[in-house]
Amino acid sequence: MGVKVSSFGKIPSGKETCLFTLTNKNGMCLEVSDYGATLVAVMVPGKNGALTDVALGYEDVTDYWNNDGYLGATVGRSCNRNKGANVTIHGITYELPKNEHGRNNLHSSPEGYNQMVWNYEVDEDHLSVRFYRLSPNLEQGYPGNFEISVTYTLTQENEIKIHYYGVSDQDTVANMTNHSYFNLAGQGNGNVLDHEVWIDADAFTPIDDEAIPTGEIRPVKGTPFDFRKRKRVGDQIDDQDEQIVLAAGYDHNFVLNKKTDELKKIAEVFEPTSGRRMEVWTTCVGVQFYTGNFIPEGVHGKEDTVYHKRSGLCLETQFFPDAVHHENFPSPILKAGEAYDSTTIYKFF
């Protein structure tokens, strides 16, 4: 039990990176890196007691440097998609990098938080690592000097707590998430079609042909997006519903049934062969359910495993995508001097 620090290799600039291994009294193990404040591995027991890594990822920092799929990454200053790659605050329009389709922005890249080497503090008594950095004014195009931290804590109840905290000196956008791909059968062990998922959401936000919300909030009832009762991921993932076809599966924001800032259980995943179950708790108002539809074929992951389409699923807690362009969506604008304070928990059984 404790926290171990080891080398995670060098990025092309020659800067060294670190890997932090947190282990609780149950033997559950969490690995995170200061490169991208990335979640690298999650070792949890199955029904036979054997520990298995259930998070897709890579062996060292070299592959994370070329991480097109954002595996395990901390995404910010604003996650998900922004139509037209711009945001207007107090009448001033700020231009963002156009890194998707030549006109939209995805995950605040190409210079996102997932590609930064963060400062860190280790708290061995609480099995936690705090990553922190100053995101300077106009980094990624966003206004304000944003002092941000991301803290990973492994509890004795087999929870991974991710706490985001930040303050900006100007009004800005703050909408961060973790982009881990989970496969409860074990990373590299087939696809997630037999996983069963429950999401506490009566509605979702439909997308256009560039995967950006249209502004509509649509009830899930009678659609493939109804996960209010736990069901197999593969049951309707190839349905001919227009929204499924547009995303080649699930890649949509779900409108959670919760009050703003309330920490609540919002989703659950069960894998019948291993018996593993994962709960998701969050203070966020939305969650992006993504079934790895665009994982490139033949990606080499940890332990000589190979990833394919739908090798993992993501539950990315968030404000709704493109919320800055839809007044009916909860606002991701953070007022100057106020705290951005968000918590997400992945709990394993």
Domain boundaries, the chain: 2-348
**188: helix, strand or coil:** coil
- Record the tokens describing residue 127, joined without a space: 């099995």
Query: Distance between CA 346 and CA 171 in Å, rounded?
Result: 30
Which amino acid, 154? L
User: Distance between CA atoms of 314 and 341, rounded to whole angstroms?
Assistant: 21
Q: What does residue 256 show for φ and ψ, rounded to 5 degrees?
A: -75, 145
The pLDDT of 168-182, averaged and rounded, is 98
CATH top-level class of 2-348:
mainly beta
For 117, the 3-state DSSP assignment is strand
Q: Which residue has the higher pLDDT, 67 or 107?
A: 107
**Residue 37 pLDDT:** 98
pLDDT tens digits, residue range 176-210? 999 999 999 999 999 999 999 999 999 999 999 99
User: If we measure between CA atoms, which residue out of 49, 44, 180, 177 comes closest to residue 112?
Assistant: 177
Residues 110-122 pLDDT 10s:
999 999 999 999 9
- Of the candidates 69, 46, 71, 49, the residue with the CA atom closest to the CA atom of residue 59: 71
pLDDT band at 28 (very low <50, low <70, confident <90, very high): very high
% helix / strand / coil in the chain, to the nearest 5? 10, 45, 45
Is the pTM higher than 0.85?
yes
Residues acting as catalytic residues: 179, 316
CB 107 within 8 Å of CB 80: yes
pLDDT higher than threshold 90 for residue 297:
no
pLDDT band, residue 260 (cuts 50/70/90): confident
